[in-house]
Amino acid sequence: MSRAHIKQTFRLDAGLVRSLEDRARQRGTTKTEVVEAALTALLLPQDQDRAEALLIRRLDRLVRLLERLEWHTDLTNETLALFVRHWLTSTTPLPDNALAAAQATGKRRWEGFVDALAKRMDGGAKLAAELSRGEAQSDPARK
């Protein structure tokens, strides 16, 4: 049983017609089928409700993701702040005659740290994964 079709004539912008032809070609359908699908999506409320529900679910998922990201960012910031505070309060200043050697050692260590960080961020094992498997040592100087 086929549906009754009524022929309509419309004037459309030339750019819109090109877009319609492109979409029909991409989908391997007729321009009429593309127009019918577009009008159905626009005019039938149940399809609008379904599309709105899908959009709301996706937005909710994005909100939860952003909340987790915010929590992790706060955790990272607090961890760094606590470490810096501890380091500043527990490290004694060096005498002037040892300062140059300490700066050279610090520079080498910093460059090693940056290299290790770059490797980990490029797909290496993440610290959180190591911690969950119990592989990380509590003192990184022991490695």
**Which pLDDT score, from 0 to 100, does residue 121 have?**
84
Residue 4 lies in a domain: no
Residue 67 lies in a domain: yes
**Which pLDDT score, from 0 to 100, does residue 2 have?**
64
* The token pair that represents 120 in the structure block: 């980990």
Residue 18 lies in a domain: yes
Are residues 39 and 72 located together in one domain of the fold? no
Are residues 84 and 58 located together in one domain of the fold? yes
Q: How far is CA 113 from CA 68, 72, 106, 118, 141, in A?
A: 27, 22, 10, 9, 12
Q: How far is CA 23 from CA 2, 16, 42, 70, 126, in A?
A: 25, 10, 17, 40, 44
Q: How far apart are CA 47 and CA 130, in angstroms?
A: 47
Are residues 21 and 39 located together in one domain of the fold? yes
Other Cβ atoms closer than 10 A to 34 = 19
Residue 1 lies in a domain: no
pLDDT in tens, 49-86: 788 888 999 999 999 999 999 999 999 999 999 999 99
**Which pLDDT score, from 0 to 100, does residue 130 have?**
75
**Which pLDDT score, from 0 to 100, does residue 46 have?**
75
Q: How far apart are CA 5 and CA 32, in angstroms?
A: 11
Residue 20 lies in a domain: yes
Residue 6 lies in a domain: no
Q: How far is CA 142 from CA 32, 115, 136, in A?
A: 71, 18, 11
Are residues 38 and 55 located together in one domain of the fold? no
Question: What range does the domain containing 78 cover?
Answer: 51-92
Task: Give the number of domains in the chain.
Answer: 3
Residue 59 lies in a domain: yes
Residue 63 lies in a domain: yes
φ/ψ (deg, to 5) at 10: -130, 150
Q: How far is CA 139 from CA 114, 124, 143, in A?
A: 18, 20, 8
**Bigger pLDDT: 45 or 89?**
89
pLDDT in tens, 101-123: 999 999 999 999 999 888 888 88
